[in-house]
Amino acid sequence: MPGQTQGAKRWRVPGRGWRWAGILLLVWLGLASPAAGRIDPYVSHYLRTTEPIELPWDAEGHMLTFTPEQLTDGKNRFQSACLNCHVGGSTLPAPNISLSLKDLRGATPPRDTIQALVEYQRDPRSYDGTEVSYGCRPVPPSWMDDEALRNLAAFILRAAQVAPGWGSNAIGGG
């Protein structure tokens, strides 16, 4: 009949809908992947951290919680800003003072809390606290904000607590 069209056949590509579903699934899996994928293996293995942990904030005993992702951020910052002088927690310019928990506690003032490490990094002082330390450059807020510096301090402190050989100054098996 004139003016009427026969039911036009629509061609469908077989599986086209499934392809889109597959693509969406892959995107969703990528966005919803577990946080463990963003945790550095060093943090999970050597720092034994796969869940949030508490570290000492100040000398009064207040604690601050850090996630494995924050420790990973701290590790990355350590690698980019501190590793040249502090390989494995040692201190190459001053081998008798490392980043071991014993040496951090022995400093004046002690540097065995997040707050103390952040303060030190903002204004480095000598080990006995009497003069400016020219061996370690100050970290201004324009370089690392407080959160970034806390993550860096958390990495150092956690490594000093549990990482095998951290601060032992036994570089090269010596």
Give DSSP secondary structure letters for the chain. -TT----PPPP--TTHHHHHHHHHHHHHHHHS--GGGGS-HHHHHTS--SS-EEEE-STT--EEEE-HHHHHHHHHHHHHHTTTT-GGG--TTSTTS-SSHHHHHHSSS---SHHHHHHHHHS-B-TTSSSB-SSS----TTTS-HHHHHHHHHHHHHHHHHSTTTT---GGG-
What pLDDT, on the 0 to 100 scale, is given for residue 47? Answer: 98
Read off the amino acid at residue 162: V
Please give the structure tokens belonging to residue 73.
């951020």
What pLDDT, on the 0 to 100 scale, is given for residue 35? Answer: 47
Q: Give 10-residue mean pLDDT values along the chain (174 residues).
A: 55 56 50 61 97 98 98 98 94 93 98 98 96 91 97 99 89 45
What pLDDT, on the 0 to 100 scale, is given for residue 37? Answer: 60
62 annotated among ligand-binding-site residues: no
85 annotated among ligand-binding-site residues: yes
State the Cα angle at 113 between 109 and 116, rounded to 5°.
45
Are the CB atoms for 120 and 88 separated by under 8 Å? no
φ/ψ of 125, rounded to 5, equals -120, 160
- Does the predicted TM-score (pTM) go above 0.85? no
27 annotated among ligand-binding-site residues: no
13 annotated among ligand-binding-site residues: no
What pLDDT, on the 0 to 100 scale, is given for residue 28? Answer: 47
Domains identified in the chain and CATH numbers? 38-173 (1.10.760.10)
What pLDDT, on the 0 to 100 scale, is given for residue 73? Answer: 98
What pLDDT, on the 0 to 100 scale, is given for residue 34? Answer: 45
What pLDDT, on the 0 to 100 scale, is given for residue 12? Answer: 56
Distance, CA of 10 to CA of 19 (rounded, Å): 19
Read off the amino acid at residue 88: G
